[in-house]
């Protein structure tokens, strides 16, 4: 009898817990990063978000093939998703200066990452530092998508810089494709490759590899291309 009672209590307990979690909706930001978010997660300007701000920097500058992707995993370090970044990047929440992921950015010589002459910008380093300082959470935010007045400088270049430039710059850009300024982006508009790659259309390689830009970014890029891709 006692056993039955505790079983009933256990079931009721589990039901209550499930009920409480109901306001959390699991959404897939991209193919590899399922994240649980609460619906009220609008972006705060004071917070650095892992999925929005940090992961694209790391994917584009550290997790490319030949470096810290799942296949190459140099020095056993894999930097393609949150769990791997926390573990193999030795991230200590709240302590950027004792987190390997951050420490290596400011080293010199062989230990410096990414290997010279590549480097993260001061802004990118600071985003990683702040994210760790703020608890290194697996967080994500979503504002309503602003599709009014989309311009190259305010909307399109920031997406390219964050999600594409890391792999598509330097002496040997991935796939021989440079994404470093307006002219290079406009060339990809004219040959259809920007639309084809980010929308994963057949005949094109899906970009960024193993992921996707947000629906909002896709909408903004489409509006801008439809307007003639101006340099505004």
By CB under 6 A, name the binding residues for ligand HEC.
59-60, 64-65, 163-164, 166-168, 174-175, 177, 188, 193-194, 197-198, 204-205, 207-209, 213
For residue 200, give both structure tokens.
Answer: 């994963």
Minimum CB separation of residue 48 from ligand HEC in Å reads 19
d(CA 139, CA 74): 26
Residue 177 burial class via C-beta count within 10 angstroms: exposed 0-12, middle 13-18, buried 19 and up: middle
For residue 228, give both structure tokens.
Answer: 């003639």
d(CA 108, CA 182): 32
Minimum CB separation of residue 151 from ligand HEC in Å reads 18
Minimum CB separation of residue 229 from ligand HEC in Å reads 13
Minimum CB separation of residue 30 from ligand HEC in Å reads 11
Q: Are 144 and 217 in contact (CB under 8 A)?
A: no
Lookup result for tokens 């307006």? 182
Nearer to ligand HEC, 130 or 189 (CB): 189
Nearer to ligand HEC, 59 or 85 (CB): 59
d(CA 228, CA 70): 39
Minimum CB separation of residue 18 from ligand HEC in Å reads 37
Nearer to ligand HEC, 58 or 91 (CB): 58
Measure Cα distances from 84 to 29, 106, 146 in Å: 17, 21, 33
d(CA 154, CA 224): 11
Lookup result for tokens 């101006």? 230
Nearer to ligand HEC, 58 or 136 (CB): 58
Nearer to ligand HEC, 48 or 217 (CB): 217
Minimum CB separation of residue 118 from ligand HEC in Å reads 13
Nearer to ligand HEC, 52 or 96 (CB): 52
């Amino acid at each position: 009898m006692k056993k039955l009672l505790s079983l009933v209590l256990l079931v009721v307990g589990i039901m209550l817990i499930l009920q409480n979690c109901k306001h959390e909706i699991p959404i897939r930001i991209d193919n590899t990063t399922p994240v649980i978010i609460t619906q009220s997660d609008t972006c705060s300007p004071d917070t650095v978000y892992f999925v929005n701000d940090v992961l694209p920097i790391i994917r584009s500058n550290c997790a490319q093939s030949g470096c810290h992707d799942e296949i190459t995993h140099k020095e056993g370090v894999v930097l393609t998703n949150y769990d791997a970044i926390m573990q193999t990047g030795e991230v200590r929440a709240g302590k950027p200066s004792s987190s390997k992921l951050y420490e290596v950015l400011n080293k010199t010589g062989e230990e410096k990452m990414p290997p010279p002459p590549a480097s993260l910008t001061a802004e990118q380093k600071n985003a990683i530092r702040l994210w760790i300082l703020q608890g290194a959470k697996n967080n994500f935010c979503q504002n309503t998508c602003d599709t009014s007045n989309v311009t190259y400088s305010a909307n399109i270049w920031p997406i390219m810089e964050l999600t594409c430039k890391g792999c598509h710059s330097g002496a040997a850009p991935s796939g021989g494709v440079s994404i470093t300024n307006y002219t290079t982006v406009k060339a990809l508009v004219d040959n259809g490759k920007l639309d084809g790659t980010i929308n994963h259309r057949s005949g094109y390689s899906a970009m960024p590899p193993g992921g996707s830009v947000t629906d909002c970014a896709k909408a903004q890029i489409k509006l801008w291309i439809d307007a003639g891709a101006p340099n505004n």
